[in-house]
Amino acid sequence: MAYQAVTIKAGKGGFGGPLTLVPTDTRNKVVSVTGGGIHPVAAKIAEMTGCPAVDGFSTGVPDNEILVAIVDCGGTARCGVYPKKRIFTVNVLPVGQTGPLARFITEDIYVSAVDASCISFADASAAQAATPKAGTPTNPTSAPKTKAQAKEEIAKMNEGKPKNLATRIGIAIGGIVNKFYAAGRETIDITIKTILPFMAFVSMILGIISASGLGDVIANTISPIASTLPGMLIVSFICAIPFISPVLGPGAVIAQVVGTLLGVQIGLGNIPPQYALPALFAIDAQVGCDFIPVGMSLGEAEPETIELGVPAILYSRVITGPIAVLIAYVFSIGLYS
């Protein structure tokens, strides 16, 4: 089948790119991991390249068949999972190098803030110059080694060598120090690039709500619902509906903003404090639902496992969400008396 190469550039406020996608007979799937079916950007890329578009939430695709992954990640792990695998990644949100996998998000494999206007047919010279960077081993002349093979080779290399106790202790201590150093560096990096900007965002939202008088409207709307157990169960059920939960999940932004608003109302006395714990589980029923197919893929699950596992987990949230609220309600009895 004849495919067309396309070039994707970053949109306004975006990062990375431009990416030139050259489909082949083996690598030709446009995977949409956005929730709610095929994203318009994924549909546009599929239409222009002649490749099939696949909903990553309902169909598992082996990594070596993915031409490009379309995500709508606000800066959590999902935007870095596919770049870590060296799979071309298109983020429809204006997100740059952020999250725990930020070091894998590079301009040659990732582009963000993409809409339909950012996609164009690649000219012949760009398509010819495009190298198979994504998903290809650095040494194509030899097959990649498995972990077992690599361990076996290392064991053979070390076989017969004298074991120096002092050397082994030094190496072990050095490894521990390096791990703590790396953990500290990544913690500071995530705090500066992810946590602090979100804290500033929430502060701005609360300031706007307080100054505009919208807080009174929210209080009058949310307080009656969040002040009763049936209301909490309804909120949990709505958040866990399978076709809604993946849309509410990205970045956990919705849950965090609503949680902050509920905290303010509890502090003002509009909502009894014993409903704080049930409220937490009610608004968090959808957390992680956008990451389910990516997490399974990261765990090297089979495509059939992903196809069955994603709907199974999504539907299970409809049951476990309200149950979690009930359990939290029971444990909160007498907690604040």
Q: How far is CA 334 from CA 190, 204, 268, in A?
A: 37, 35, 20
For residues 282-301, average pLDDT: 78
166 pLDDT higher than 60: yes
Q: How far apart are CA 293 and CA 240, in angstroms?
A: 16
The pLDDT value recorded for residue 114 is 92
Q: What is the pLDDT of residues 174-214, one digit of tens each?
A: 668 767 877 787 788 778 877 787 778 767 776 776 677 76
Q: What angle do CA 125, 131, 133 make, to 5 degrees?
A: 150
171 pLDDT higher than 70: no
Q: What is the pLDDT of residues 245-283, one digit of tens each?
A: 777 766 666 677 777 777 777 777 777 788 888 888 888
State yes or no: is 73 an active-site residue: yes
Q: How far apart are CA 135 and CA 30, in angstroms?
A: 14
Q: What is the pLDDT of residues 99-158, one digit of tens each?
A: 778 888 999 999 999 999 999 988 876 666 664 555 544 444 444 555 565 556 555 555
Q: Are 32 and 42 in contact (CB under 8 A)?
A: yes
- The residue from 73, 79, 118, 289 that is catalytic is 73
Q: How far apart are CA 83 and CA 73, in angstroms?
A: 13
Task: Record the tokens describing residue 235, joined without a space.
Answer: 């909120």
Nearest to 214 by CA among 222, 236, 197: 222
Strand pairing class (89-91; 19-21): unpaired
The pLDDT value recorded for residue 119 is 92
Task: Record the tokens describing residue 220, joined without a space.
Answer: 């009058």
Task: Record the tokens describing residue 273, joined without a space.
Answer: 């404090």
Q: What angle do CA 306, 297, 149 make, to 5 degrees?
A: 120
Taking each helix axis from N to C end, the angle separating 196-212 and 253-268, rounded to the nearest 10 degrees, works out to: 50
Q: What is the pLDDT of residues 40-66, one digit of tens each?
A: 899 999 999 989 998 887 777 888 889
CA-based radius of gyration for the chain? 24
Element (H, E) at 286: none
The pLDDT value recorded for residue 89 is 93
The answer, as to whether pTM is greater than 0.85, is no
Q: Fill in the DSSP letter of residue 26.
A: S
In whole numbers, what is the pLDDT of the chain averaged over residues? 78
The pLDDT value recorded for residue 140 is 43
Nearest to 9 by CA among 134, 121, 114, 129: 114
Q: Fill in the DSSP letter of residue 285.
A: T
Element (H, E) at 182: helix 165-190
